[in-house]
Structure formats: structure tokens, C-alpha cells
Amino acid sequence: MKKKKFISLSVLILLTGCLDTQIIDEILLIQTVGIDKHEENKLKYTVTYPFFLEQGEESTLNMEQLSVISETTEEARSLLNTRAQQPLRYGQVRVIMFGKEVAEEGLEKYVKSFYRNPRIGSQIFLSLAEGKTEEILRLKGEKQQRIGMYFSDLIEQNIEFENIPETNMHLFLFDLYSDGKDAILPLITKEGEEPKLIGTALFDFDRYIDNIDLNETYIFKQLRDGSEGGTSQFMVEHEGKKEYVVIENVFTDVQYKEKKRTPYPEYDIQVEIQGEITDNTGNIDLNDSNQVTKIEESVGKQIKTESEKLIKRFQELKVDPLGFGEKYRSKTRNWKPNEWKENIYPQTKSNVKVDLEILQSGAIE
């Protein structure tokens, strides 16, 4: 018995030496990846990673940015390693940003390679950059030191509280490989020295087609998820003058009903928004229920027109980020994705009905 215990113990102890260890402060964890087109067939990979100084040096967190030119993601990593002090790993990637030119040719192979890698989480953010990601990933001053978290925080807080629809790598892949829905990504640009979210990029399968701006994204978010959060400013007429009100969504519910199927489907889209007036110009009496009703009607109408305009635009572009195809498929026995896309979808009619309810208007009269 003693001999057996001795063997077990020695096996356990001796075998621990057999694997490569990856000690956290002896590797460099990539947090942001940017992919740009570089000449033909070549890509430029830009990565940022935090960089901890050694003992004795001033203890600040530094950020490094490196770029290499390569064809595949993993090759890029090994090329980057030839220039990094310590081994680079993908384990903590937060944001992957694609340049517009890359996205126009199709993102499938890149996203697939990140999905293939079990080290990379599936809730990381993908985003599209107008212009070169290499430029966008170069921030000024103190921000550069926080760049690793900067973009993921930027996207995350805008999803939660503002107008950007929910997105991450899993949802992108879900939409990409669903034949009744098209994928979207948040669109980022650089204005002066500041990075900025400017809207939503629309995809046809994996190719970037067009984008919508922030106001349209606000409408789009309501139609897509029926979301909480989001703020938009509307113009209303009051006593012959143009006034502005800002409405923050507290809760939105959206329902699609198929009204008619042949010859082309028709959908009733019921949007119920419960909102709050957070600001207004001029002298609208927000305690007067008549005036509030007027605002509700006027704004509701605007949302309706905008929504229908937006859906029309999607149909003209032949992209379906709202997933009409999925709704149609779920009631179709012999579903043919191509016929839907080419013939049925562009002819689909939709009637948006908006029911806006103003719940409150702040702490003053």
C-alpha cells in the first residue's frame, strides 16, 4: 500500500513539469485587434496590449501598439511575436475592428478564425471602422493608455443606455449564418482626435453594404429588439413655432404580425414606446394633458414615417437586418432562401403603428 501511494504521489509531482506554463505577467494579452487592407491580398493587423513595467521602474500601465502585414490572424500573431518582448496571446481580446475595405470583401473568414480559436470569448465586440483601424486605434495622450478597455466600454455603454443595438461576436455569427436575417455591426470613425460611434453598418451575408446614421439607428433599435434605453430629439410644432423635445425610451415593445401572405406578405408592426421627456425648448406646458397628447401623436407619427422609410431602404438594399425572413420562414413549410431574397422580400409591405406614451417629464413643472 505504501509503495502504491508513493508511486501515485511521484507521478503527480513529476508530471507537472511537462507543460508550458503561461504566467500572467510573463505574457502580453492582446485587447484590441484591428484589421486593415494593405495592398493586394495582404492585411495589416494592428494590436494593442497593456504593458507592465518591471520592478524598479515607474509603476504605470503602458500601452503598446504594433502593426504587421500578413494573410491570416494566427500568422499575424506569430509575426507580432517577433517584435514583442514577451509572448502575445489572444486570450483577453475585447474588440476586433475591421477596416471598411476589408469588410467590403467579406468578413466571414476572419470572424471564423476568431470563432475557431477557443481562447477567444464569444461575447467580444466586433465593429467596423470608417477609414483605417490603425488610425482609429491610435488615441491621444492618456486615452492611449486605456485603449484596451476604451473601445469595449464605448460600445458596451452605448448598447446599454443609448442607441446602438445589441451586438457581439455570437450575435454576428448567428445573423450571418441565419438565412432569414442579415448581420449588423456598430460603425466607428475618428473625428479629429476622438473616436466616435456614428451608426450601424449593414451587411449582406458577410459583405459590408451600407450604413445608417445614429438617428436611424435609434429607430432601428426599437424595431429590432424592442429595447430599453435610447434617446432621440424630435421636432414638434407648438403655437406655430418649431420646438424640440428630447424623448428617452423607458421601455419599448415591438410585435410583428403577418397580415397577409399572398401574393406578397404584409406585416403589421406594432411599436409601443413608453418614454420620458427629458428636455424641451420653448414653452410647452407639460402638465397639460392635451399638449402632451399632441406631442405623443406628433412624435409617434415621425417615428412611424422614419420606420417605414428605413424599412424601404433596407428592401432597396436587399438587406434584412430586421429579420423579416426569419418571421416568414417560421410560417413556411417549403422555405427557399433565394426566392425570398430575390423576389419576395423587396415586395414585402409593412405598416408601422407607433403607440407612444409619455410617462413623465422630469422634476419641474
Residues lying near other proteins in the complex (CB under 8 A) are found at 7-8, 11, 15, 18-20, 112, 118, 121-123, 170-171, 173-179, 181, 323, 326-327, 329-333, 335
Residue 329, C-beta contacts closer than 8 angstroms, at least 6 positions apart: 179, 180, 335, 340
Q: List the strands of the sheet with 241-260, edge to edge.
A: 231-238, 241-260, 266-280, 349-360
Could you tell me if 183 and 170 are in contact, meaning their C-beta atoms sit under 8 angstroms apart? Answer: no
CA 268 to chain CA mean position, Å: 27
Instruction: Assign residue 75 a region (left: φ > 0; alpha: ψ between -120 and 50; beta: otherwise).
Output: alpha
| Alpha-carbon torsion (100, 105, 108, 112), positive or negative | negative
Residues 296, 21: Cα–Cα separation, whole Å: 62
Residues 298, 296: Cα–Cα separation, whole Å: 6
| Comparison of 11 and 235: residue with beta carbon closer to other proteins | 11
Q: How far is the CB of 224 from other proteins (least distance, A)?
A: 12
Number of other residues whose CB lies within 10 A of the CB of residue 141: 7
**CA-based end-to-end distance of the chain:** 85
Q: How far is the CB of 129 from other proteins (least distance, A)?
A: 25
Residues 112, 123: Cα–Cα separation, whole Å: 14
| Comparison of 339 and 355: residue with beta carbon closer to other proteins | 339
Q: How far is the CB of 118 from other proteins (least distance, A)?
A: 5
| Comparison of 189 and 332: residue with beta carbon closer to other proteins | 332
Could you tell me if 118 and 90 are in contact, meaning their C-beta atoms sit under 8 angstroms apart? Answer: no
| Comparison of 42 and 170: residue with beta carbon closer to other proteins | 170
Q: How far is the CB of 74 from other proteins (least distance, A)?
A: 12
| Comparison of 122 and 305: residue with beta carbon closer to other proteins | 122
Q: How far is the CB of 163 from other proteins (least distance, A)?
A: 21
Q: How far is the CB of 18 from other proteins (least distance, A)?
A: 6
Please list the residues that pair with 88 across neighbouring strands.
Answer: 28
| Comparison of 89 and 349: residue with beta carbon closer to other proteins | 89
Q: How far is the CB of 233 from other proteins (least distance, A)?
A: 31
| Comparison of 52 and 205: residue with beta carbon closer to other proteins | 205
